[in-house]
Structure 1
Amino acid sequence: MRLCFITGCLPILLNLARGSNEMKVLAVIGSPRKNGNTETLLRAVLKGVEAAGGETEVVRLCALRIQPCIGCGGCDKTGQCVLEDDMQELYPKILASGRLLLASPIYFYGITAQAKGFVDRCQALWSRKRLLSEKGEWRKDPTRKGFLVAVSATHGERVFEGAILTAKYGFDAMGMGYGGEFLVKGMDGRGDMAQDAATLTRAEEAGRKFMD
């Protein structure tokens, strides 16, 4: 993919942000396990999102080639990441979405490596926001929101704290406010979530409310 400098690239990305659709929802799955507890929970949330009129697109990070941020500072002057991989396809999807759901199981009191790598690569979007702000061209859209869906095996009192903080600042880099979360503890075995009909019903309702 061709990369461009601030004079050519940022106005294009700005137009994408201004053209974001409140009903367009990007769901990002950070679990390395396909159809696991996290994905089952997310699907229930998305059912509610779609019932409320949301147009959903699901991205499974483990199926993509996304390199970790290398801290090179390449995005500082352009607002554009220099790493050419599948993340380049996600940037415009993020900017065009009015809602974003980040779903991840909890690994050692945080989100997965796949989910964290995705968030880290959104440093380019933070740089873009800063550059546009300096030019007086950044306008925050209060309707754009991010939502965290997370599942833990344990019942630790603070088990979700790290994930929530990461999600909040990640969404901020994407130009989104924090819309809330749906968190479930005690899902240790494979298939546990699919057996919890009450929680899935509550998740569906949370998806509806997320579109308010």
Structure 2
Amino acid sequence: LACSPRTGGNSEILLDRLIEGATEGGANVEKLHAARLTIAGCVECNGCFGHGYCVVEDDFQHVAKKITDADRVVIATPVFFMAPSAQAKAMIDRCQSFWARKYVLKAPLKEESSELERRGVWISVGGTRGVKLFDGIKLTMEYFFDAIYISSYVDVKAWHADAKGEILKQQDVLREAHEKGVELARP
């Protein structure tokens, strides 16, 4: 899930490196661009409390199906004011429907489960060097992954990469993203 409003930005570059690693590892990967989709924010109608699916009709239904069917979920977002991008946040908030399915309805993610453990990765890039730069996103991602039935996840974080393409100077982080992709492809 590429969640930057800027196409080809730093978080997407890291996501692409992770995808390269996952593909090399044998994974079948589909990349979705949140900025190209129409996903409204959660309207807190609690319609999902009745059956575990969001009742607001837009592109989120497509994303929700992909999240449900995937054995692995990767989300990449820049840091905006110590939080995920608006595109990421709208999608995450709509995952309240997964939370309702899991905690209100006590229902499984899907009737037939995969033999693979569901795992995830969150990728985030910020323009400053602040020690607490990722604290807000870390907490959001913890609850996002829990809601979508993923208990095992890792991160790839990069500081001081603001200008488009600036992440290309950080070879260690690019390598880390690639390696996490290879690891993610393993059963």
Number of aligned residue pairs? 184
TM-score under structure 2 length normalisation: 0.90
Pick the aligned partner of 1:112 from 62, 85, 96.
Answer: 85
Quote the residue 2:155 is aligned against: 181
Quote the residue 2:16 is aligned against: 43
Quote the residue 1:31 is aligned against: 4
Tell me which amino acid in the other structure corresponds to 1:154: T
Pick the aligned partner of 1:53 from 26, 29, 47.
Answer: 26
Partner Cα separation in structure 1 for residue 120 and residue 176 of structure 2: 18
Pick the aligned partner of 1:190 from 154, 160, 164.
Answer: 164
Pick the aligned partner of 1:151 from 93, 104, 125.
Answer: 125
Which stretch has the larger CA shift, 138-147 or 86-95?
Answer: 138-147
Quote the residue 1:204 is aligned against: 178
TM-score under structure 1 length normalisation: 0.80
Structure number with the higher strand fraction is 1
Pick the aligned partner of 2:44 from 71, 81, 87.
Answer: 71
Which stretch has the larger CA shift, 177-186 or 201-210?
Answer: 201-210
Which stretch has the larger CA shift, 81-90 or 191-200?
Answer: 191-200
Partner Cα separation in structure 1 for residue 84 and residue 59 of structure 2: 20
Q: Residues 138 and 173 from structure 1, CA distance in 2 versus in 1: closer, same or farther, beyond 3 angstroms?
A: farther
Following TM superposition, the consecutive aligned residue runs of length 4 or more in structure 1 with deviations greater than 4 angstroms are: 137-142
The structural deviation recorded for 1:200 is 1.4
Unaligned runs of 5+ in 1: 1-27
Q: Which has the higher contact order (CA 8 A, sep 6+)?
A: 2
For the pair shown, the structure with the greater C-alpha radius of gyration is 1
Contact 1:132 1:138 (8 Å CA) reproduced: no
Classify the secondary structure of the residue corresponding to 1:183.
strand
The structural deviation recorded for 1:35 is 0.4
The structural deviation recorded for 1:139 is 9.3
Partner Cα separation in structure 1 for residue 83 and residue 152 of structure 2: 17
